[in-house]
Chains A and B, each alone.
Chain A
Amino acid sequence: MCRIFMEQKLKTKRILWISGLSALLLLSLVLSVMIGSVHLPFTLSLKILLSHLPFVDLTPTWSLAQDAIVWDLRLPRVFLAIVIGAMLSSTGVAFQGMLRNPLADPYILGVSVGAAFGAATSMLFFRQLTLLGYFTTPLFAFIGALLSLWFVMALASHHGQRDRETLILAGVVVQSLIGAAISFLIAISGQQMQQIVFWMMGSLANRTWLDVGMLTPYMLVGFLYLSLQQRDLNLISLGESAATHLGMDVEKKKIRVLIAGSLLTAAAVSVVGIIGFVGLIVPHLMRLIVGPDHRILLPLSTLAGAIFLLWADTVARSIIPSREIPIGVITAFIGAPFFAYLLKKGLRRRQV
């Protein structure tokens, strides 16, 4: 008698893919640490990295300066790229799944710009809220993200119905409005203007372990919550009423998942500014490769997002010697044509 062993098949597939991508991520990490104005050989980079792990005892064959380049300069930035890429990509998966819209991405829906507005407000006016300390900016970014998402959803829905292009248009409206508000803030900000402008464009330059540490709690909460929603994300793809008939509380779930995604986006934006399209490109490619099941799509997109942003940042900091290109520029160069392609594909499908 033949059995279907669906769960077994899924588990095997998941383990294979997750180990494969994890290996690729580790390799990318070492390679990225090698690359920079001072080039370090592969084995040396690897040794320096390993020497910082607990219980690893290696006699140093490298200088203190080399150690500092790897551990204090490059690695925090590499880690940051990994964490941010994972956050933005998993948010993309969650938004696309919950809204059943393949174009939904925190950047395109105006969540990122809302978060940026919140963060800029706190940078300009609320530096002194010492009670919240490091968490002031993410908190304001979170509020900004939620408000703009709420506004986009309200703008795009008509008697509870939402079609995908309307949602995108609503995102554009909110982006222009909040974009103008941010420009206004920057214009009146005087001295801090340059700093905010550069942060807005999206950059991972000059970040430390402190920034990585600050992101960690948001990342953990967001990832943990989303990872518990994989089956529900599958169910909702049948449609909202079908999911309700299968016992899911759709409205409640939707609000919670969107809040979790906004939290991840806000945390990312408050540290590195606006980096667009990661949540659009990576989940889409992974969906093509591994299929629509969120139990595999979510973890893989998280890993692939990390790899993608790590390489995007490596390119951003090394393609022009002694010059730094904002990483948001790199992702937009890749993402905008990709978005155009998806839009065109969607229109073509509608004609048939």
Chain B
Amino acid sequence: MNLFEVWQVQQHFGGIPVLDNITFQVRVGETFGIIGPNGSGKSTLIRTMSGLLKSSQGEILLYGKPIGSYRKRDLARLIAVLEQEGIPPLSFTIEEVVAMGRYPWLKPLSDLSHLDEQIVEDVLKNLGLWKLRSKGVNTLSGGQRQMVSLARAMAQQPKVLILDEPTTFLDIGHQVLVMEHVREWHQSQDITVIMVLHDLNLTSQYCDRLLLLAQGHVQSYGEIHDVLKPETISSVYKTELIMIEHPVQHVPQFLLTSK
């Protein structure tokens, strides 16, 4: 069953085409990766799929209904988005920011119920943020802030999690930490995960299927082994690469070679 159906989507900004004739599907319950070089339109695609941008042409269906037909609040109950920059350095505490994830579920003008607070508490404990909960977000490191961002998304209890380069500003420890928590959440709650990633080695380890974008076009689309081919990747990223197999997980990994 398909969660997202993207049909011939085009996106122009001021007459300049950014996405051209994009067609693909995301299945319910999978982890779907979107990769491509800088400027290939990954973020624009994500922003269009999450309802932030309207597509210039084509159609995006979520559970068979056009994405534009959802009310903002209903969309927020289905989709949570983790942005690249994470949370700005606010003086709100961690628990306050995580509680904002409950917003789409609150009735107008009502406070958090006990159930809402229980959800926030569980998420904080689950992600190891419980002891830090009264700290201001502005006192945290980039890695911790991304964890708070993830916690907020979890409190939102969506069916779909969209991540836009969630690991870009993180050290390797936090990269794996964030990805592992996403995977655990994916497996325990059966959510669908769509992520834009820069790091091809993380991509191959965490994604089921991939979409490779180049200059606003679909370059390649399908299973990991069909998309991550050394000749394709080398030509799209315009760089020399060596592909090896991960000794434990048996997925493709890439090594960069200096000239």
Which residues of A are in contact with B by a Cβ distance under 8 Å?
A: 3-7, 228, 231, 234-235, 237-239, 241-242, 244-249, 291-293
Instruction: Kindly list the 7 A-B residue pairs having the minimum CB-CB distance in the complex, ordered from nearest.
Output: A247-B76, A247-B104, A247-B73, A245-B81, A246-B103, A7-B111, A247-B72
By a CB distance below 8 angstroms, the chain A residues around B99 are: 6
Do residues A248 and B103 form an inter-chain contact, with CB atoms below 8 A? Answer: yes
Residue of B52, B95, B100, B101 near A4 (CB, 8 A) is B95
Which residues of B are in contact with A by a Cβ distance under 8 Å?
A: 47, 50-52, 72-77, 79-81, 83, 85, 87-88, 90-92, 95-97, 99-101, 103-104, 106, 109, 111-112, 117-118, 120-121, 124, 133, 156
- A3, A5, A238, A246 pick with most chain B CB within 10 angstroms: A246
Do residues A292 and B95 form an inter-chain contact, with CB atoms below 8 A? Answer: no
What's the Cα separation between A7 and B110 when bound, in Å? 11
What's the Cα separation between A5 and B117 when bound, in Å? 7
Do residues A4 and B103 form an inter-chain contact, with CB atoms below 8 A? Answer: no
Q: Taking CB as reference atom, which chain B residue is nearest A100?
A: B88
Q: Taking CB as reference atom, which chain A residue is nearest B133?
A: A4
**Given A6-B112, A6-B117, A7-B112, also A246-B91 (CB < 8 A):** no
By a CB distance below 8 angstroms, the chain B residues around A245 are: 50, 52, 76, 79-81
By a CB distance below 8 angstroms, the chain B residues around A239 are: 83, 85, 88
**Given A244-B52, A247-B75, A247-B76, also A238-B117 (CB < 8 A):** no
Distance of A158 from chain B, by nearest CB (Å): 13
10 A-B pairs with C-beta separation under 8 A: A3-B118, A4-B117, A6-B112, A7-B117, A234-B96, A237-B88, A238-B100, A246-B76, A246-B101, A248-B103
What's the Cα separation between A247 and B96 when bound, in Å? 17
Distance of A101 from chain B, by nearest CB (Å): 13
Do residues B76 and A237 form an inter-chain contact, with CB atoms below 8 A? Answer: no
By a CB distance below 8 angstroms, the chain A residues around B75 are: 247
By a CB distance below 8 angstroms, the chain B residues around A248 are: 72, 103
Distance of B152 from chain A, by nearest CB (Å): 8
Residue of B83, B109, B121 near A228 (CB, 8 A) is B109
**Given A239-B88, A247-B76, A292-B92, also A6-B109 (CB < 8 A):** no
Do residues A238 and B101 form an inter-chain contact, with CB atoms below 8 A? Answer: no
By a CB distance below 8 angstroms, the chain A residues around B90 are: 237-238, 292
Distance of A34 from chain B, by nearest CB (Å): 39
**Given A3-B117, A245-B52, also A291-B91 (CB < 8 A):** yes
Residue of A3, A231, A247, A293 near B92 (CB, 8 A) is A293
What's the Cα separation between A4 and B27 when bound, in Å? 37
Extra inter-chain contacts (10) besides given A6-B99, A234-B92, A246-B104, CB under 8 Å: A4-B120, A7-B112, A234-B96, A238-B97, A241-B47, A245-B81, A246-B103, A249-B72, A293-B92, A293-B96
Do residues A231 and B52 form an inter-chain contact, with CB atoms below 8 A? Answer: no
By a CB distance below 8 angstroms, the chain A residues around B50 are: 245
- B72, B80, B99 pick with most chain A CB within 10 angstroms: B72
By a CB distance below 8 angstroms, the chain A residues around B124 are: 4
By a CB distance below 8 angstroms, the chain B residues around A6 are: 95-96, 99, 112, 117, 120
Q: Taking CB as reference atom, which chain A residue is nearest B92?
A: A292
What's the Cα separation between A239 and B100 when bound, in Å? 12
By a CB distance below 8 angstroms, the chain A residues around B87 are: 238, 242
Do residues B120 and A246 form an inter-chain contact, with CB atoms below 8 A? Answer: no
Q: Taking CB as reference atom, which chain B residue is nearest A11?
A: B111
Do residues B91 and A292 form an inter-chain contact, with CB atoms below 8 A? Answer: yes
What's the Cα separation between A301 and B85 when bound, in Å? 31
- A4, A6, A238, A245 pick with most chain B CB within 10 angstroms: A245
Distance of B216 from chain A, by nearest CB (Å): 19
Distance of B167 from chain A, by nearest CB (Å): 18
What's the Cα separation between A238 and B103 when bound, in Å? 13
Do residues B95 and A231 form an inter-chain contact, with CB atoms below 8 A? Answer: no
Q: Taking CB as reference atom, which chain A residue is nearest B156?
A: A246
